[in-house]
Amino acid sequence: MPDLFGPLLPLVVIPGTQGIYGFITGVVVAFVMKPGSGWGALPGWVGFQIFLACLPVAFVCCTSAIYQGLTSVGAAPMVAKRREEMGRALVLPALVETYAVLSLIVTIIYLFVVIKPLYGTLGI
């Protein structure tokens, strides 16, 4: 069965992309919080808004990873039986992936459109 490693690898790896979206969110939050300005420069209610902005990625990516794993498990036997079905097998996990991508977009928009402009009014 080592010859199935290559065709099945995308189905195994794709649920892990939600961790990458969480990492991207963490990096974006670090930039939004103005590193080097000190923690005292950030009011508590802005920090709470940043926390709320991260919730879409937190909940949607966690749920999406579970269901993406389930769809990948369902698609794996199809690839194991017929390798030429790899494209079709990847469609369902990719459809679940769109929800994770949308949650990342919502979080980034909220951080840069809603929270970042608050800094100008606060004088930070």
Mind listing the pLDDT tens digit for each residue in 14-43? 888 889 999 999 999 988 876 666 656 677
pTM of the shown model: 0.83
What's the pLDDT tens digit per position in 56-93? Answer: 999 999 999 999 999 989 888 888 888 888 888 888 88
Q: Are 111 and 32 in contact (CB under 8 A)?
A: yes
| Residue 100 in domain | yes
Enter the tokens of residue 51. Answer: 């926390």
Task: Count structural domains, the chain.
Answer: 1
Q: In the 8-state DSSP scheme, what is residue 117?
A: T
Q: Identify whether 58 is part of a domain.
A: yes
Residue 44: which CATH number?
A: 1.20.120.610
Asked whether residue 35 is assigned to any structural domain, the reply reads yes
pLDDT of res. 40:
63
What amino acid is encoded at 53 in this protein? A
Residue 8 lies in a domain: no
What dihedral do alpha carbons 24, 117, 56, 15 form, nearest 10°?
-20
Q: Indicate whether 3 belongs to any domain.
A: no
Classify residue 86: in a domain, yes or no: yes
In a domain, 114, yes or no: yes
Residue span of the structural domain in which 48 resides: 15-119
